[in-house]
Copies of this chain bind each other. A is one copy, B any other.
Amino acid sequence: PRTHTITLLPGDGIGEEIMAATVDVLDAVAARFDLTLSMSSALMGGAAIDATGEPLPAATLDACRASDAVLLACIGGYKWDDLPRASRPETGLLALRKQLGLFANLRPAKAFAQLEGASSLKDEVVNGVDLMVVRELTGGVYFGTPKGIDTDPATGARVGYSNMVYHDYEVQRIARVALDIAMKRGKSLVSVDKANVLEVSQLWREEVIKAAADYPEVALSHMYVDNAAMQLVRWPKQFDVMVTGNLFGDVLSDCASMLVGSLGMLPSASLGDGSGPGVFEPVHGSAPDIAGTDAANPVACVLSAAMMLRYALGEFPAADAVEAAVEAVLDAGWRTGDIMSEGKTLVGCKRMGELIVDAV
Protein backbone atom coordinates (compact mmCIF):
# COMPACT_ATOMS: atom_id res chain seq x y z
CA PRO A 1 0.00 0.00 0.00
CA ARG A 2 1.09 3.57 -0.65
CA THR A 3 2.01 5.41 2.52
CA HIS A 4 1.32 9.04 3.37
CA THR A 5 2.23 10.89 6.54
CA ILE A 6 -0.34 13.37 7.79
CA THR A 7 -0.07 15.77 10.70
CA LEU A 8 -3.42 16.44 12.34
CA LEU A 9 -4.01 19.74 14.11
CA PRO A 10 -7.35 19.47 15.91
CA GLY A 11 -6.88 22.90 17.48
CA ASP A 12 -9.66 24.39 19.59
CA GLY A 13 -13.40 24.48 20.15
CA ILE A 14 -15.22 22.01 17.92
CA GLY A 15 -11.85 20.98 16.46
CA GLU A 16 -11.53 17.70 18.38
CA GLU A 17 -15.00 16.53 17.38
CA ILE A 18 -14.80 17.31 13.69
CA MET A 19 -11.26 15.96 13.48
CA ALA A 20 -12.30 12.68 15.12
CA ALA A 21 -15.10 12.27 12.58
CA THR A 22 -12.73 13.09 9.74
CA VAL A 23 -10.07 10.65 10.88
CA ASP A 24 -12.68 7.89 10.84
CA VAL A 25 -13.52 8.82 7.26
CA LEU A 26 -9.85 8.83 6.31
CA ASP A 27 -9.40 5.38 7.91
CA ALA A 28 -12.32 4.13 5.86
CA VAL A 29 -10.98 5.37 2.52
CA ALA A 30 -7.54 4.10 3.42
CA ALA A 31 -9.01 0.62 3.93
CA ARG A 32 -11.03 0.79 0.74
CA PHE A 33 -8.19 2.07 -1.46
CA ASP A 34 -5.39 0.16 0.25
CA LEU A 35 -3.53 3.21 1.53
CA THR A 36 -1.46 3.55 4.64
CA LEU A 37 -2.26 6.91 6.18
CA SER A 38 0.11 7.53 9.03
CA MET A 39 -1.63 10.21 11.08
CA SER A 40 -0.40 11.86 14.24
CA SER A 41 -1.75 14.84 16.15
CA ALA A 42 0.11 17.95 17.23
CA LEU A 43 -0.81 20.98 19.31
CA MET A 44 -1.83 24.21 17.66
CA GLY A 45 -3.74 27.35 18.58
CA GLY A 46 -5.28 27.82 22.00
CA ALA A 47 -4.64 24.21 22.93
CA ALA A 48 -0.94 24.79 22.27
CA ILE A 49 -0.96 28.04 24.23
CA ASP A 50 -2.44 26.28 27.23
CA ALA A 51 0.12 23.48 27.04
CA THR A 52 3.28 25.32 25.97
CA GLY A 53 2.61 29.06 26.04
CA GLU A 54 2.95 29.31 22.27
CA PRO A 55 0.27 29.03 19.57
CA LEU A 56 2.63 27.25 17.15
CA PRO A 57 5.25 25.27 19.11
CA ALA A 58 8.45 24.38 17.26
CA ALA A 59 7.64 20.68 17.68
CA THR A 60 4.37 21.19 15.80
CA LEU A 61 6.03 23.07 12.98
CA ASP A 62 8.68 20.35 12.73
CA ALA A 63 6.02 17.64 12.62
CA CYS A 64 4.20 19.52 9.86
CA ARG A 65 7.38 19.95 7.85
CA ALA A 66 8.15 16.27 8.12
CA SER A 67 4.77 15.17 6.79
CA ASP A 68 3.18 14.97 3.36
CA ALA A 69 0.20 17.07 4.34
CA VAL A 70 -1.36 18.88 7.29
CA LEU A 71 -5.01 18.67 8.21
CA LEU A 72 -6.13 21.50 10.49
CA ALA A 73 -9.56 21.66 12.13
CA CYS A 74 -9.94 25.14 13.61
CA ILE A 75 -8.39 27.40 16.21
CA GLY A 76 -9.26 30.25 18.55
CA GLY A 77 -11.84 31.08 21.19
CA TYR A 78 -12.93 33.75 23.66
CA LYS A 79 -10.58 32.28 26.21
CA TRP A 80 -7.49 33.54 24.37
CA ASP A 81 -8.95 36.76 22.96
CA ASP A 82 -7.33 39.03 25.50
CA LEU A 83 -3.80 37.73 25.18
CA PRO A 84 -1.23 39.96 23.53
CA ARG A 85 -1.23 39.51 19.78
CA ALA A 86 2.06 37.57 19.66
CA SER A 87 0.65 34.75 21.76
CA ARG A 88 -2.83 34.42 20.29
CA PRO A 89 -4.15 31.41 18.39
CA GLU A 90 -4.55 33.39 15.14
CA THR A 91 -0.91 34.37 15.28
CA GLY A 92 -0.01 30.70 15.23
CA LEU A 93 -2.13 30.18 12.14
CA LEU A 94 -0.53 33.12 10.35
CA ALA A 95 2.92 31.82 11.32
CA LEU A 96 2.08 28.33 10.05
CA ARG A 97 1.04 29.74 6.68
CA LYS A 98 4.12 31.91 6.47
CA GLN A 99 6.60 29.29 7.68
CA LEU A 100 5.31 26.69 5.24
CA GLY A 101 5.24 29.22 2.40
CA LEU A 102 1.53 28.60 1.74
CA PHE A 103 0.89 31.49 -0.58
CA ALA A 104 -2.13 30.03 -2.37
CA ASN A 105 -5.40 29.54 -0.54
CA LEU A 106 -8.10 27.78 -2.58
CA ARG A 107 -11.63 28.30 -1.33
CA PRO A 108 -14.26 26.62 -3.46
CA ALA A 109 -17.89 27.65 -3.01
CA LYS A 110 -20.13 25.09 -4.61
CA ALA A 111 -23.85 24.95 -4.01
CA PHE A 112 -25.11 21.53 -2.92
CA ALA A 113 -28.35 20.67 -4.70
CA GLN A 114 -29.35 18.78 -1.55
CA LEU A 115 -29.22 21.96 0.51
CA GLU A 116 -31.59 23.94 -1.69
CA GLY A 117 -33.21 26.46 0.59
CA ALA A 118 -30.33 26.62 3.07
CA SER A 119 -28.91 29.89 1.79
CA SER A 120 -30.25 33.32 2.69
CA LEU A 121 -30.15 34.00 -1.04
CA LYS A 122 -32.92 32.97 -3.38
CA ASP A 123 -32.69 29.49 -4.86
CA GLU A 124 -32.48 30.74 -8.43
CA VAL A 125 -29.55 32.95 -7.44
CA VAL A 126 -27.47 30.20 -5.83
CA ASN A 127 -28.58 27.01 -7.62
CA GLY A 128 -25.61 25.68 -9.51
CA VAL A 129 -23.10 28.17 -8.11
CA ASP A 130 -19.62 26.70 -8.50
CA LEU A 131 -16.82 29.15 -8.00
CA MET A 132 -13.31 29.14 -6.63
CA VAL A 133 -11.75 31.98 -4.69
CA VAL A 134 -7.96 31.92 -5.00
CA ARG A 135 -6.65 34.03 -2.15
CA GLU A 136 -3.04 35.12 -1.74
CA LEU A 137 -2.11 34.00 1.77
CA THR A 138 1.39 35.08 2.79
CA GLY A 139 1.52 38.72 1.70
CA GLY A 140 -0.53 41.89 1.63
CA VAL A 141 -1.58 43.81 4.69
CA TYR A 142 -1.39 40.65 6.83
CA PHE A 143 2.38 40.59 6.67
CA GLY A 144 3.47 43.98 5.30
CA THR A 145 5.83 46.31 7.11
CA PRO A 146 5.98 48.84 8.60
CA LYS A 147 3.28 47.87 11.05
CA GLY A 148 2.68 48.75 14.65
CA ILE A 149 1.15 51.19 17.10
CA ASP A 150 3.21 54.24 18.02
CA THR A 151 2.58 56.52 20.94
CA ASP A 152 3.91 60.05 21.01
CA PRO A 153 5.75 60.22 24.37
CA ALA A 154 4.99 63.94 24.75
CA THR A 155 1.28 64.01 23.95
CA GLY A 156 0.24 60.38 24.29
CA ALA A 157 -1.30 60.58 20.78
CA ARG A 158 -1.37 57.21 19.08
CA VAL A 159 -1.25 55.99 15.53
CA GLY A 160 -1.74 52.44 14.23
CA TYR A 161 -0.53 51.27 10.85
CA SER A 162 -0.39 48.10 8.77
CA ASN A 163 1.17 48.35 5.36
CA MET A 164 -0.50 46.61 2.43
CA VAL A 165 2.43 45.43 0.33
CA TYR A 166 2.79 43.23 -2.74
CA HIS A 167 5.96 42.36 -4.62
CA ASP A 168 5.71 41.59 -8.31
CA TYR A 169 6.78 37.96 -7.82
CA GLU A 170 4.11 37.41 -5.17
CA VAL A 171 1.41 38.56 -7.57
CA GLN A 172 2.90 36.58 -10.45
CA ARG A 173 2.91 33.29 -8.61
CA ILE A 174 -0.62 33.55 -7.21
CA ALA A 175 -1.90 34.75 -10.58
CA ARG A 176 -0.37 31.69 -12.23
CA VAL A 177 -1.97 29.36 -9.69
CA ALA A 178 -5.33 30.96 -10.45
CA LEU A 179 -4.75 30.87 -14.20
CA ASP A 180 -3.82 27.17 -14.03
CA ILE A 181 -7.01 26.48 -12.09
CA ALA A 182 -9.03 28.52 -14.57
CA MET A 183 -7.59 26.42 -17.42
CA LYS A 184 -8.92 23.29 -15.70
CA ARG A 185 -12.32 24.89 -15.14
CA GLY A 186 -14.30 27.42 -17.16
CA LYS A 187 -11.31 29.43 -18.42
CA SER A 188 -12.62 32.60 -16.88
CA LEU A 189 -10.75 34.56 -14.22
CA VAL A 190 -11.79 37.70 -12.37
CA SER A 191 -9.00 39.50 -10.55
CA VAL A 192 -10.26 41.61 -7.66
CA ASP A 193 -8.44 44.73 -6.52
CA LYS A 194 -8.98 48.38 -5.62
CA ALA A 195 -6.76 49.76 -8.37
CA ASN A 196 -8.77 52.98 -8.61
CA VAL A 197 -7.48 53.98 -5.19
CA LEU A 198 -4.54 51.86 -4.02
CA GLU A 199 -1.03 51.81 -5.48
CA VAL A 200 -0.57 48.26 -4.25
CA SER A 201 -3.63 47.28 -6.30
CA GLN A 202 -2.30 49.03 -9.35
CA LEU A 203 0.82 46.86 -9.19
CA TRP A 204 -1.40 43.83 -8.55
CA ARG A 205 -3.45 44.52 -11.67
CA GLU A 206 -0.43 45.13 -13.88
CA GLU A 207 1.25 41.91 -12.77
CA VAL A 208 -1.91 39.83 -13.19
CA ILE A 209 -2.22 41.16 -16.74
CA LYS A 210 1.40 40.22 -17.44
CA ALA A 211 0.95 36.69 -16.09
CA ALA A 212 -2.26 36.21 -18.07
CA ALA A 213 -0.40 36.92 -21.32
CA ASP A 214 0.90 33.35 -21.06
CA TYR A 215 -2.67 32.03 -20.86
CA PRO A 216 -4.37 33.36 -23.98
CA GLU A 217 -7.28 30.96 -23.54
CA VAL A 218 -8.30 32.39 -20.17
CA ALA A 219 -10.73 35.30 -20.28
CA LEU A 220 -9.35 37.72 -17.69
CA SER A 221 -11.31 40.60 -16.26
CA HIS A 222 -10.87 42.95 -13.32
CA MET A 223 -13.29 44.04 -10.67
CA TYR A 224 -13.03 46.47 -7.77
CA VAL A 225 -13.44 44.80 -4.40
CA ASP A 226 -16.54 46.79 -3.45
CA ASN A 227 -18.24 45.75 -6.67
CA ALA A 228 -17.05 42.15 -6.28
CA ALA A 229 -18.68 41.88 -2.84
CA MET A 230 -21.86 43.20 -4.40
CA GLN A 231 -21.75 40.96 -7.46
CA LEU A 232 -21.18 37.88 -5.31
CA VAL A 233 -24.50 38.60 -3.65
CA ARG A 234 -26.30 39.87 -6.74
CA TRP A 235 -25.49 37.17 -9.28
CA PRO A 236 -22.76 34.74 -8.17
CA LYS A 237 -23.12 32.51 -11.21
CA GLN A 238 -21.15 35.07 -13.21
CA PHE A 239 -17.99 33.83 -11.46
CA ASP A 240 -15.78 30.86 -12.24
CA VAL A 241 -12.38 31.61 -10.67
CA MET A 242 -11.58 34.74 -8.67
CA VAL A 243 -8.06 35.73 -7.64
CA THR A 244 -7.32 38.37 -5.04
CA GLY A 245 -5.06 39.50 -2.22
CA ASN A 246 -4.98 38.28 1.35
CA LEU A 247 -7.42 40.72 2.95
CA PHE A 248 -9.86 40.95 0.05
CA GLY A 249 -9.82 37.16 -0.21
CA ASP A 250 -10.57 36.84 3.48
CA VAL A 251 -13.69 38.98 3.11
CA LEU A 252 -14.88 37.73 -0.27
CA SER A 253 -14.51 34.05 0.56
CA ASP A 254 -16.55 34.47 3.73
CA CYS A 255 -19.13 36.36 1.71
CA ALA A 256 -19.12 33.58 -0.91
CA SER A 257 -19.61 30.97 1.78
CA MET A 258 -23.11 32.30 2.33
CA LEU A 259 -24.03 31.19 -1.17
CA VAL A 260 -23.67 27.60 -0.04
CA GLY A 261 -25.84 28.13 3.00
CA SER A 262 -23.49 27.16 5.79
CA LEU A 263 -19.86 27.67 6.66
CA GLY A 264 -20.05 24.13 7.91
CA MET A 265 -19.82 22.82 4.34
CA LEU A 266 -16.74 24.70 3.12
CA PRO A 267 -13.24 23.26 2.82
CA SER A 268 -10.05 25.02 1.83
CA ALA A 269 -6.55 24.17 0.70
CA SER A 270 -3.44 26.25 1.37
CA LEU A 271 -0.59 25.41 -0.95
CA GLY A 272 3.00 26.49 -1.45
CA ASP A 273 5.45 25.87 -4.23
CA GLY A 274 5.32 22.12 -3.73
CA SER A 275 8.54 21.82 -1.76
CA GLY A 276 6.70 21.36 1.53
CA PRO A 277 3.31 20.16 2.76
CA GLY A 278 0.03 21.98 2.17
CA VAL A 279 -2.48 22.72 4.91
CA PHE A 280 -6.10 21.70 4.50
CA GLU A 281 -8.73 23.24 6.73
CA PRO A 282 -12.39 24.16 6.94
CA VAL A 283 -13.21 27.83 6.30
CA HIS A 284 -15.19 27.99 9.54
CA GLY A 285 -13.87 28.87 12.98
CA SER A 286 -13.80 26.98 16.24
CA ALA A 287 -17.39 27.78 17.32
CA PRO A 288 -16.61 27.73 21.06
CA ASP A 289 -20.31 28.17 21.91
CA ILE A 290 -21.21 24.71 20.59
CA ALA A 291 -17.90 22.95 21.36
CA GLY A 292 -18.34 19.63 23.16
CA THR A 293 -22.07 19.40 22.43
CA ASP A 294 -21.76 17.11 19.40
CA ALA A 295 -23.66 19.75 17.38
CA ALA A 296 -20.88 20.68 14.94
CA ASN A 297 -20.96 19.86 11.24
CA PRO A 298 -17.88 17.78 10.34
CA VAL A 299 -18.47 18.05 6.58
CA ALA A 300 -16.16 21.03 5.94
CA CYS A 301 -13.34 19.16 7.66
CA VAL A 302 -14.14 15.95 5.78
CA LEU A 303 -14.18 17.84 2.47
CA SER A 304 -10.87 19.46 3.45
CA ALA A 305 -9.51 15.95 3.85
CA ALA A 306 -10.79 15.19 0.35
CA MET A 307 -8.94 18.23 -0.98
CA MET A 308 -5.86 16.91 0.83
CA LEU A 309 -6.20 13.52 -0.84
CA ARG A 310 -6.51 15.21 -4.22
CA TYR A 311 -4.08 18.14 -4.07
CA ALA A 312 -1.39 16.89 -1.69
CA LEU A 313 -1.43 13.11 -1.88
CA GLY A 314 -2.51 12.55 -5.47
CA GLU A 315 -5.12 10.01 -4.33
CA PHE A 316 -7.80 11.04 -6.78
CA PRO A 317 -10.18 8.06 -6.50
CA ALA A 318 -10.03 8.31 -2.70
CA ALA A 319 -10.80 12.03 -2.87
CA ASP A 320 -13.73 11.37 -5.20
CA ALA A 321 -14.99 8.65 -2.89
CA VAL A 322 -15.03 10.96 0.12
CA GLU A 323 -16.91 13.65 -1.79
CA ALA A 324 -19.36 11.11 -3.17
CA ALA A 325 -19.95 9.78 0.33
CA VAL A 326 -20.82 13.26 1.59
CA GLU A 327 -23.26 13.70 -1.29
CA ALA A 328 -24.82 10.32 -0.61
CA VAL A 329 -25.36 11.14 3.06
CA LEU A 330 -26.96 14.45 2.13
CA ASP A 331 -29.08 12.69 -0.51
CA ALA A 332 -30.32 10.33 2.17
CA GLY A 333 -31.58 13.32 4.16
CA TRP A 334 -29.12 13.39 7.06
CA ARG A 335 -28.38 16.88 8.39
CA THR A 336 -26.47 18.54 11.21
CA GLY A 337 -28.16 21.49 12.90
CA ASP A 338 -26.59 24.20 10.75
CA ILE A 339 -28.06 22.75 7.56
CA MET A 340 -31.25 21.26 9.01
CA SER A 341 -34.52 21.83 7.20
CA GLU A 342 -38.06 20.47 7.22
CA GLY A 343 -38.42 16.78 6.45
CA LYS A 344 -34.75 16.00 7.02
CA THR A 345 -33.20 13.98 9.82
CA LEU A 346 -31.13 15.79 12.42
CA VAL A 347 -27.91 14.10 13.53
CA GLY A 348 -24.92 15.08 15.63
CA CYS A 349 -21.31 15.45 14.59
CA LYS A 350 -20.31 11.92 15.54
CA ARG A 351 -23.23 10.28 13.80
CA MET A 352 -22.66 12.40 10.69
CA GLY A 353 -19.09 11.11 10.61
CA GLU A 354 -20.29 7.50 10.95
CA LEU A 355 -22.77 7.95 8.14
CA ILE A 356 -20.04 9.25 5.86
CA VAL A 357 -17.83 6.32 6.88
CA ASP A 358 -20.63 3.91 5.98
CA ALA A 359 -21.09 5.60 2.61
CA VAL A 360 -17.39 5.29 1.87
Contacts and interface: CB of A to CB of B under 8 A. Distances in A.
A292 interface: no
B227 A254 contact: yes
A119 B15 CA distance: 36
Given A121-B121, A121-B122, A233-B120, A159 B164 contact: no
Nearest to A205: B160
A226 B198 contact: no
Contacts of A164: 141, 161-164
Interface in A156-208: 157-169, 194, 196-204, 207
Contact of A202 (B76, B149, B196, B254): B149
A160 B201 contact: yes
Contact of A200 (B160, B194, B230): B160
Interface residues of A, number: 58
B258 A233 contact: yes
A229 interface: yes
Q: Is the interface of A mostly helix, strand, loop or mixed?
A: helix
B254 A229 contact: yes
Contact of A230 (B94, B234, B254): B254
A142 interface: yes
B160 A165 contact: yes
Nearest to A196: B90
A160 B202 contact: yes
A167 B158 contact: yes
Contacts of A90: 196-197
A35 interface: no
Contacts of A204: 160
A263 B253 CA distance: 22
A153 interface: no
Given A120-B233, A120-B234, A141-B198, A203 B254 contact: no
A199 B166 contact: no
Contacts of A250: 194, 225-226
A63 interface: no
A125 interface: yes
A148 interface: yes
A-B CB proximity, top 10 nearest: A160-B203, A160-B200, A226-B254, A233-B258, A162-B198, A229-B255, A161-B165, A230-B254, A158-B168, A162-B200
21 contacts: A85-B199, A85-B202, A88-B196, A90-B197, A120-B122, A120-B233, A142-B197, A147-B198, A159-B165, A159-B166, A159-B203, A160-B199, A160-B203, A162-B163, A162-B199, A194-B247, A225-B250, A226-B253, A226-B254, A227-B254, A251-B251
